[in-house]
Amino acid sequence: MANVQPAGATTGAKAQNAEFFAADLLPFVLAQYAAKNKISISVSAAVVIEITLDSGSNWTALNAGVAIGVDQLFTFDVAIRNGDTFNMRTPTGGGATVDICRVDEVTSEA
**pTM score over 0.75:** yes
Neighbours of 102 (CB within 10 A): 16
From the options 3.30.870.10, 2.30.42.10, 2.60.120.40, 1.10.340.70, give the CATH code of 3-108.
2.60.120.40
Q: What digits encode the pLDDT tens for the residues 64-76? A: 999 999 999 999 9
Which amino acid is present at 70? V
Q: What digits encode the pLDDT tens for the residues 26-80? A: 998 777 788 999 999 999 999 999 999 999 999 999 999 999 999 999 999 999 9
Taking Cα atoms as reference points, which of 40, 54, 55 lies closest to residue 8?
40
One DSSP character per residue, 21-47 reads SSSPBPP-S-TT-EEEEEEEEEESS-B
